[in-house]
Amino acid sequence: MAKLAPSILSCDFSRLREQLLEAWEGGAEIIHVDVMDGHFVPNLTFGPLIVEAVRKVLPEAFIDVHLMMDNPRAFVRDFAQAGADLISFHAEAVQDFDAVLQDIARVGKKSGLALCPGTPLTILDHVLGKLSLVLLLTVNPGFGGQKFISGMEEKIRALRRRIQEKGLRVEIAIDGGVKEENIEFLASCGASIIVAGSLVFSAQDIRGTVRRLSERIRAY
């Protein structure tokens, strides 16, 4: 059953509490937090204090923190203590995956590996069984509101086949370019978590939008 993960990158931060509560009341179980360092990607976003704020507003939510940064090891403990449930880091940012995975395990959190659109799935060959989630970026990282990159649906399908062939229980999350017209298609390709930012938080009725989108992907 695919789930929707609203991304606070598109929140109105003057109304953060209100919008988080509306998303939660609409049925969102996962809140996605994009952390950008201004180096790995050309944008700068949130630190642990924002995760802490989300946790205070939604104590029961599953908080998925996506670290788009050059040195994720330096911040794993800070985001864990702030309230993250799962921490994803980028395959392109580190050489020693196991070291970061051990850091995440040491603080008692689930781990995810994020892949940019051009990064091949072969990079997962020796690490897939150690992950709770693979996050496939379906736009180039750094900014919200971009268009879904055509052809990424094949990457989603290929990863789903690989996970099934190995008999693993690894979630596939996709992030970028999710729209009303493609959300069901993306779920049908094998995505089990669909991150949506502007589609959710730019809506006039956030609560109703989350409920409607969640119902549309629940069957997959």
Active site residues: 34, 175
Enumerate residues 6+ apart whose C-beta is below 8 A from 165: none
Q: How far apart are CA 214 and CA 151, in angstroms?
A: 24
Closest CA to 6 of 202, 161, 204, 220: 202
Closest CA to 178 of 194, 159, 201: 194
Looking at 70-175, list the stretches that DSSP marks H as alpha helix, in order from N- to C-terminal side.
Answer: 76-82, 97-106, 152-166
Element (H, E) at 114: strand 110-115
Looking at 34-94, list the stretches that DSSP marks H as alpha helix, in order from N- to C-terminal side.
Answer: 48-57, 76-82
Cα Rg, the chain, nearest whole Å: 16
The helix, strand and coil proportions of the chain, stated in percent and rounded to the nearest 5, come to 40, 20, 40
Q: How far apart are CA 42 and CA 48, in angstroms?
A: 19
